[in-house]
Amino acid sequence: MGKVLLNRLEDLFTEKNKLWANKYPKIWMFLILDIIYYINEFIEKGPIVNMKYRKMGSLDWEVSALGFGCMRLPSRRLNRLRADTESSIKLIKHGVDLGINYIDTAWFYHLGDSEKILGKALKGSYRDKVHLVTKLPIQIVRKTEDFDTYLNRQLKRLKTDYIDGYLFHGLNNGTFNKMKDLGLIEKMEKAKDKGLIKHIGFSFHDTYPVFKEIIDYYDWDIAQIQYNYMDTNFQAKTDGLVYAHSKGIAVVVMEPLKGGRLVNPPAEALEIMRSAKSKKSPVEWALQFLWNRPEVGVVISGMGSMQMVDQNSEIADRSGINTLSEEDEETIIRLAKAYQDKILVPCTACEYCMPCPSGVNIPQNFAILNDAYIDTSKFRSWLTRRGYKNLAGSKGKLDRENPNGNASMCTKCNKCLEKCPQKIAIPDEMEKVHSILGKRGRISDHYKVN
């Protein structure tokens, strides 16, 4: 783009275009050329990023402040649950080129595509540039021997001889007990002795008492928790973050933008940002809140486009521990309150509940409901509700490859309940969603709202 504009402007200021030359003084020509030079040098070639690096608990790792979460890679056109290989590889390599050296994936992500794509993306020199972390799908482990089966398949998918960090995926009270009953810690240690994994950890979705129990059970290397300025009193909470750090455990933060919810602020939150002395984008407010804390090792963000990778990397370049002012911290407290007042269902769009056996697009239904509550203008509210009508309301219109069902298609099979990290009563909420969006019911009849 820059070169095309540059050539065009040069043509405009030649003798052949005396009208332009007389109309615009030379000084304007140079200013415009400077702008085009900037476009050519910085926009086309990408941002100039000096990635910041942080300590990871007691590990000898220097990790990039920003980690690459591979659960929201660019999707395929005909099946959005699957990832597009070519564009995903380019995206991952671009992130590594910008200095990202922590990459997170899992067995379930993109129905298995995520690990396979990473194996191709990191082939060659890229593998040595990153700390590669994946997870044991403990939810589907049935016997002790399954550990070896899944680990070996994941090593094959990732095309690597070892994994830098191997985590139990989504530990809660139930899966924690399963881990103990099946002796899976011992399997982890044996794999570590063989050099197949370097460090042992877990990701977490439950309450603080359960988190503390898990932390105290074993000498963990890594703990991955959901944390953002809206979730300081949710799941592991700030208490859990501080406690894990005090034990020398490397704390990894996921859902820093709460599934994208913090990217699109309600009007009240936008007004708080506009009036703040520090001028930051919604994304920067959320990320800097995390990087400000010394307990946070790395923040992983699920990035699905070059723009996301560039934007988040540039923000990471400005990050640092204890860099927020007291005024900034007060602004974040006000932002959290503004958001919390506008969210009906705390869905983060993690898609652990997907695919739904009945074809319901669960995250999309919740997103439409939350947006309908946030949107104040009649036109935007109409557009939001129209999005619900565009979802399938009958079996004949369902697309099993690309789930598109609205809330009315929920059969209350309850298979989604144990999968939801947020412990949302999904079938009950689906009934409310359809009553509000499908039958034009009032939100206040189903939720306590201001």
pLDDT tens-digit series, residues 76-97:
988 888 999 999 999 999 999 9
Same domain, 259 and 284: yes
Q: What is the pLDDT of residue 40?
A: 53
Same domain, 289 and 263: yes
| Sequence-ordered alpha helix ranges (H) in 55-172 | 85-97, 113-121, 146-158
Q: What is the pLDDT of residue 65?
A: 98
Is 430 part of any domain?
Answer: yes
Same domain, 28 and 57: no
Q: What is the pLDDT of residue 383?
A: 66
- Distances in Å between the Cα of 439 and the Cα atoms of 111, 295, 449 are 34, 47, 19
Is 294 part of any domain?
Answer: yes
* Residue whose entry in the numeric block shows the structure tokens 């380019």: 90
Same domain, 99 and 203: yes
Instruction: Tell me how far apart the alpha carbons of residues 295 and 277 are, in angstroms, rounded to a whole number.
Output: 26
Is a pLDDT exceeding 50 seen at residue 261?
yes
Domain count of the fold of the chain: 3
Same domain, 141 and 284: yes
Residue 140 makes CB contacts below 8 A (sequence gap 6+) with 146
Same domain, 284 and 385: no
Is 189 part of any domain?
Answer: yes
Q: Do 212 and 27 touch, CB atoms closer than 8 A?
A: no
Per-residue model confidence as pLDDT tens digits over 40-69: 544 445 667 899 999 999 999 999 999 999
Same domain, 161 and 270: yes
Same domain, 302 and 424: no
Is 82 part of any domain?
Answer: yes
Same domain, 238 and 384: no
Is a pLDDT exceeding 80 seen at residue 221?
yes
Mean pLDDT of 333-358: 89
DSSP state of 231: -
pTM value > 0.85: no
Q: What separation, in Å, do the N-terminal and C-terminal C-alpha atoms of the chain show?
A: 49
Is 354 part of any domain?
Answer: no
Is 106 part of any domain?
Answer: yes
Q: What is the pLDDT of residue 385?
A: 77
**Pick from 370, 377, 340, 381: nearest CA to 433:** 370
- Distances in Å between the Cα of 350 and the Cα atoms of 20, 31, 116, 364 are 55, 47, 19, 11
Mean pLDDT of the chain: 88
Same domain, 278 and 188: yes
Same domain, 112 and 239: yes
Range of the domain at 391: 362-445
CATH code, 258 = 3.20.20.100
Per-residue model confidence as pLDDT tens digits over 379-403: 566 767 777 888 889 999 898 777 8
DSSP state of 52: -
Same domain, 62 and 36: no
Phi, psi of 201 (to 5 degrees): -160, -165
Is 355 part of any domain?
Answer: no
Is 353 part of any domain?
Answer: no
Per-residue model confidence as pLDDT tens digits over 14-38: 444 444 445 444 445 555 555 655 5
Q: Which two tokens stand for residue 427?
A: 């079938």
Q: Which two tokens stand for residue 121?
A: 């993306």
